[in-house]
Structure 1
Amino acid sequence: MSDIWKPSVTVAAVIERERRFLLVEEETSEGVRFNQPAGHLDPFESLEQAVARETMEETAHEFAPSSLVGVYMSRYQSARTGLDVTYLRFAFCGTVGRVHDRPLDHGILRALWLTYDELLATRDLHRSPLVLQCVDDYLKGQSAPLSLLHTTPSVIGDLNG
């Protein structure tokens, strides 16, 4: 086993429509919580592919990322299990597309649209403080072009690329 420390890489989608934000209500080891559509980067995919996939799996909505809202590092320690994990989160904003008739990921209770005031009122139920931080950064207009991200072809399976 390697002694090299590695954070868990995750992606999140900050999606706004008509002054409401798309969130998921999910079952966690800490109880029911609210989060952006988010999840882990899988092997053989880019960050942009990961956030589109996670959004589809958790909300049944198509999502096309258009910019990077921010990169966040946080440490989580479960009070229940004692699990200690550091996450490196890449949050994206973009365009939400059509909704598909499909089941949501295991553990996702529902997708819902909340106003900013509703987000503030449910702060104690957020999966992490990053839920509100990402929305606040988005509302401040913080963004970076996707051209800052580069995925070599070797990541998606072309070892000669």
Structure 2
Amino acid sequence: MRFLPHVTVATIVEDQGRFLMVEEVSHGRVVFNQPAGHLEADESLIEAARRETLEETAWTVEITGLTGVYLFRGENGVTYQRTCFTALPVAHQPDLTLDEGILCAHWLTLDEIEARRAELRSPMVLECIFDYLNKPRYPLDLIR
């Protein structure tokens, strides 16, 4: 059997110590995540990160860097390869309809996110934020 991980992107958007987070329904439970989703055919990883952020939060962002590439095996047995980007908020479009399953977007502090640890979609949520805060960020030209 051929191994086919799911290719996903996530975006860390920070503004004045608050992170743009998505409150969504996943497998019947309400969870918090960075704006994130699957790569679609004929788009780059950067385009996917920009698109997913807009679709899930109604925020247009400027992708500025790369936090890291992560492998994670979910409780469903699926392996996800997540490319996590950093971005700056550019413009909010509050009239946009958010993706199905998205309840709303929030700007949360790290303390508020950590207080919701049990409600995070996966351990990658905090791992990506800690890497963003404590490790180097990589230029976008790393991605070819």
TM bucket (normalised to shorter chain) is: over 0.9
Q: CA deviation at 1:37?
A: 0.2
Looking at structure 1, the residues matched to 87 and 54 of structure 2 have their Cα atoms a distance apart, in angstroms, of 13
SS in 1 for 2:2: coil
> TM-score if structure 2 supplies the norm length?
0.96
Query: Would you say 1:92 and 2:85 are equivalent positions?
Result: yes
In the aligned structure 1, how far is the partner of 2:69 from the partner of 2:87? 16
1:113-161 Cα distance to aligned partner (Å, 9 max, x none): 11011111000100000000000000114211111101xxxxxxxxxxx
Q: Where does 1:1-161 land on structure 2 (aligned, <5 Å)?
A: 3-77=1-75, 83-100=76-93, 101-150=95-144
- Whole-angstrom CA distance in 1 between matches of 2:41 and 2:103: 26
Q: TM-score, normalised by structure 1?
A: 0.86
Tell me how large the CA RMSD over aligned residues is: 0.9
Paired residue type of 1:20: R
How far apart, in 2, do the equivalents of 1:84 and 1:132 lie? 21
Contact 2:5-2:80 within 8 A present in 1 as well = yes
SS at structure 2 position matched to 1:26 = strand
Instruction: Tell me by how many angstroms 1:4 deviates.
Output: 1.9
- Which amino acid is 1:46 matched to? S
Question: What is the aligned-residue identity percentage?
Answer: 48
Q: Aligned partners of 1:64, 1:6: CA distance in 2, in Å?
A: 30
* Cα distance in 2 for residues equivalent to 1:90 and 1:64: 16
Question: What are the ranges of 5 or more consecutive residues in structure 1 without an aligned counterpart?
Answer: 78-82, 151-161
1:159 corresponds in structure 2 to none
Aligned length: 143
Residue 105 of structure 1 aligns to a residue in which SS?
coil
- Tell whether the 8 Å contact from 1:64 to 1:96 is kept in structure 2 after alignment: yes
Q: After superposition, give the CA deviation of every residue in 1:37-73 in whole Å (9 maximum; x if it has no partner).
A: 0000000000000000000000000012111001000
Alpha carbons 2:58, 2:96 under 8 Å: kept: yes
Counterpart-to-counterpart distance in 1, 2:90 and 2:125: 21
The amino acid across from 2:17 in the alignment is: R
